[in-house]
């Protein structure tokens, strides 16, 4: 197992480098750069510069400082050097990215951890119940409801919930203005009321998808010969489902970890923008608008790392849930 983990971790290095190169090129292909935004229009007024005097000089010096006037490969080398030294910056504010990145990351990780917990706690039992009673009224009703949930766009649901619960629940931000003056219990209540609507919008789609994957995996397993043999030997239906079938039917759900784990740092851009949640999604959106290359690349790399770790964790969990699977064939 140790050799397998070392090999997989070493393979992540060229993969991450390739992702970084492609991401850097794609971002640089977008029109505009931090200099044009900083010293053009509103940027000039904010900097106190006259459009006819000093602007071109300031913009030229800015590009020279950050090598934006250099060929693409030189810009990439400069970026790697700053990355190696931890000198990534917000160009518009001329300050390191780390404080804003850390603040947004904490919010997104906490919020998405709650979402993931709700998804799996609800989806796995729903999938098991549907598969254990195929084509029953319960299965049909559950299937229709989940397909409807999965088909509803999150931005549409978010706007509907905002209109329905306006005045009942907070519809913007994560805390109230007087949050700091509240007691601990009041702060927990305030935070809970603020996250209700965003959590619903971020949960229902994943819940519908994961539960359908769980149902499909369970149906495939309970049709196997060894399940019929267990039933023929007198094992109860619940024992057959929960003991003999459950572990093998978890494979599709485990596979989803690789795609869901990046949301821990990526967040939901649409939901965070609608509810003005200062998490990674909103931060990424604003960083792309402002051409904050360092921040965008760092968020992309965090998502890439979590994707690769999700795949690795999935491979390990395959062996945990089914000892017949080995690291050589996982």
What residues pair up with 50 in beta bridges, in sequence order?
53, 54
Instruction: Tell whether 51 is covered by a domain.
Output: no
Residue 60 lies in a domain: no
Q: Is residue 187 part of a domain?
A: yes
Per-residue pLDDT of the chain (330 residues; tens, 9 = 90+): 677 778 888 888 999 999 999 999 998 888 877 887 777 654 444 445 445 456 778 888 888 888 888 899 999 999 999 999 989 999 888 899 999 999 998 888 888 889 989 998 999 899 888 888 888 888 899 989 998 988 999 889 999 999 999 889 888 888 888 888 888 899 899 999 999 999 999 999 888 989 988 888 888 888 888 877 877 877 777 787 877 788 778 877 877 776 777 766 666 788 888 999 988 888 888 888 888 999 999 988 888 888 888 888 877 877 776 666 665 555
Please check whether residue 330 lies inside any domain of the structure. Answer: no
pLDDT in the model for residue 81: 92
The domain containing residue 252 runs over which residues?
A: 98-321
Give me the helices (H) in 152-279, please: 154-165, 184-222, 225-232, 237-239, 246-249, 251-255, 257-260, 263-266, 269-274
Residue 17 maps to a domain: no
Residues in the chain: 330
pLDDT at site 228: 78
User: Using CA atoms, how far apart are residues 110 and 224, in angstroms rounded to an integer?
Assistant: 40
Report yes or no on 10 lying in a domain. no
Answer yes or no: pTM beyond 0.75.
Answer: yes
Looking at the 3D structure of the chain, how many domains does it have? 1
**Does residue 327 lie in a domain region?**
no
Is 43 among the domain residues?
no
Contact 302, 23 (CB under 8 A): no
- pLDDT at position 55 is 74
Identify the residue whose tokens are 């023929």.
Answer: 232
Residue 194 sits in a domain whose CATH number is: 1.10.3720.10
To the nearest 10°, the Cα dihedral for 139, 144, 146, 151? Answer: 160
């Amino acid at each position: 197992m140790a050799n397998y983990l070392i090999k997989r971790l070493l393979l992540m290095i060229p993969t991450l480098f390739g992702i970084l190169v492609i991401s850097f090129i794609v971002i640089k292909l977008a029109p505009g750069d931090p200099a044009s935004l900083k010293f053009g229009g509103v940027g000039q007024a904010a900097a106190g510069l006259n459009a006819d005097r000093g602007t071109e000089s300031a913009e030229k010096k800015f590009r020279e400082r950050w090598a934006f006037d250099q060929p693409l490969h030189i810009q990439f080398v400069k970026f790697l050097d700053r990355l190696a030294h931890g000198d990534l910056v917000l160009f518009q504010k001329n300050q390191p990215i780390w404080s804003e990145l850390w603040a947004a990351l904490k919010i997104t990780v906490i919020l998405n951890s709650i979402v993931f917990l709700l998804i799996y706690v609800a989806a796995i039992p729903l999938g098991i119940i549907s598969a254990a009673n195929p084509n029953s009224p319960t299965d049909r009703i559950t299937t229709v409801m989940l397909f409807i949930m999965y088909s509803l766009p999150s931005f549409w649901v978010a706007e509907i919930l905002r209109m329905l619960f306006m005045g009942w629940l907070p519809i913007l931000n994560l805390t109230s203005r007087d949050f700091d003056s509240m007691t601990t219990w009041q702060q927990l209540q305030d935070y809970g009321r603020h996250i209700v609507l965003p959590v619903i919008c971020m949960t229902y789609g994943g819940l519908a998808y994961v539960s359908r994957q769980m149902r499909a995996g369970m149906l495939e397993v309970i049709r196997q010969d060894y399940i019929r043999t267990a039933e023929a030997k007198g094992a109860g239906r619940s024992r057959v489902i929960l003991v003999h079938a459950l572990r093998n039917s978890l494979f599709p759900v485990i596979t989803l970890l690789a795609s869901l784990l990046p949301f821990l740092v990526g967040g939901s851009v649409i939901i965070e923008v609608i509810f003005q949640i200062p998490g990674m999604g909103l931060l990424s959106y604003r960083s792309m608008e402002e051409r904050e290359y360092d921040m965008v690349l760092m968020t992309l790399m965090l998502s890439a790392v979590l994707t690769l770790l999700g795949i690795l964790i999935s491979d390990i969990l395959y062996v945990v849930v089914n000892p017949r699977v080995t690291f050589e064939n996982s």
